[in-house]
Structure 1
Amino acid sequence: MKSRIAPPSFLVLLAILTVGCARTPLLLSPDASDVRTGKADPIGNARELGPVTATDGSGCGLYGYRGTYERAYIQLKNNAAALGANYVQIYSISEPHLSGGCFVNVFSISGMAYKIGPAEETLRGSKVSTGTCFSVAPDGLILTAYHLIKDASTITVRFENVKELTAVPEQISANNDLALLRVNRRTPVYLTLSPLQNPKLGEPVFTLGFPAPSVLGTEPKFTEGTVSALSGPGNESTFLQVSVPVQPGNSGGPLVNHRGEVVGVITATAAILPFLQKTGSLPQNVNFAVKAGYASLLFPPPAALPLANDRDDAIRRVRGALCTVESTPGK
């Protein structure tokens, strides 16, 4: 590792979870509101037991009763526990809502149940973290999220149609959750970091990444949205808030505008239960990316590439520069 960059640290953000694989998991425990914040990563480190669902509430309006998240979570935990699970990865939540002139009272939750031991190991011999990465220069420089490689003894990178490559840390910014890696191979297809300090509020943006590969498969997945705010929780200036949906595995992926420029690096999502407890409602696509300007402090960016012709052109470029990153911690 050449050096470690640590810009002024920002406040501890209790409202978010790193998505390091973008996760918002529920730990099965006596307390229905207990949340696990990254102590275990089900992708590659646990035995998948199957999908679980739970509902609470019935009927329309006064002709029934309105469901609550507390009762639905308790039911979900009981359903998962019946499978022998101790960890549930939440994938969808539906609140009571107005539909076709009827106020549907049902609150429903769906997720995947896992069995995770206290020190469960994969076939490779130790726990593995996976996420998304992308090349940012032609000489083998790759950008991702720091929390994915924090305790790694080995880091492996995979591009489409390229054999597995070993990567080493070149620069890191732990406070900004950014890591610059290097592979011993040229990366002629790369992405340009936006030269602007901030994108425009409301600007369309998208990401490609590898969310929940054990569930959704290993093809890159496209999601899009807009820039919702030019700061994160508590007006934290290092973040952008975006409406782009993210899932476990998107962490470290590029947030890109339609000109093909990287405006941020996906790193976090709003935690469901703390958000509910603070506001009384569920977060709807409240996700965060570290601004690209902080990534540009890690290396001298190469000359900017020509702007993409349109969104389709930008998507093709991103796919060519995209990779998966997998890290195995030391014993």
Structure 2
Amino acid sequence: MQDTSAPIRNGEFTLQVPDPDDEDISEFDFQQQVGAAWEVCDRFDLQTDIWRGRILRAIRDREKNTGEGRGGSFLNWLQNNEISKSQAYSWIELANSADTLLDAGHLEPDSINNFSKRAFVKTAQSAPEIQELVSETARQGERITTREVQQLSDEWTTMTSDLVPAEIKTKAANQTIPIRHVAPLVKELEKLPEAHQNTIQSELAASPDLDTLKQATAEAKQLAKYLEAFGNVQALTEQSIDLESSLEEALRLGCLNITADLVNQASQLEHMVAKLYTTWRRLRRLTDKLHNASGASTPHLQSLLQALERLYSDVLEVELGASGSNPSETISIQVLSESHGSGSD
């Protein structure tokens, strides 16, 4: 096993890094040595950054508690030490993560050395059960990166969720189905009503294989998108469209993806129209103010207002620029407001 100790000589941190010009060292040994040295740097870097975070947190909290400076003392400290605010708070987050895991009893101080910084923060932000799983792995001496945290999180989600059929759990447990494909299904099923959850669960129980799992996840994702977009389209809610019946027909025809995209685009269009109308009204108000403030003595302002008239009049006209062999095209939109009468603001 590669020695990952880091001697300190004359107060200087040193590492044994292999000579890149040494032809006697094999590529495998070279990679092993540089990898071991890198891990030492990671460990020292993580420990150092945690303590930097604790120091900065103490400076910040003292200022809060004394009520002095209103952030000035903390910010001045950062400036004097050439530390950006974002860097300072990333260190404080790391310190908070360490204290969260240590205070909860999930982690021993010596095990911190086995984490990468990103994995450490990700673990602290996870559910307590996942923290325990990750910490136990770290206590066994395993190297913990974000990949390991995500894998353990996926395993816990899969095996504890009531939304996953027993047939799928069994195959995930014996690795017939990669467990990383099951967690996304749980995430999408959680967004659906129980009736739709049951339908997809039945399909999976009948065919518990990877292809069916992927198809079920995609279907659940489209269903969630459809249901969310449907409630946001005013044109649909005003006409009392039967949501479930239209959904059943789309599923029967195998065009749920198209239907979901259609409803989503309709939702976006309504949002854009509302934003267009709001902007148009604001433009009219501004032009009215400028008309009132200017006159014959400001011919250039008058020219500006005249040039913009095609945008703030009752009929908006926008020219779409030519591209390639396609000529330019003028789009005209008439604005009608029922509350103020046709063509009025």
TM-score, structure 1 length as denominator?
Answer: 0.20
More helix by share: 2
Structure whose CA Rg is larger: 2
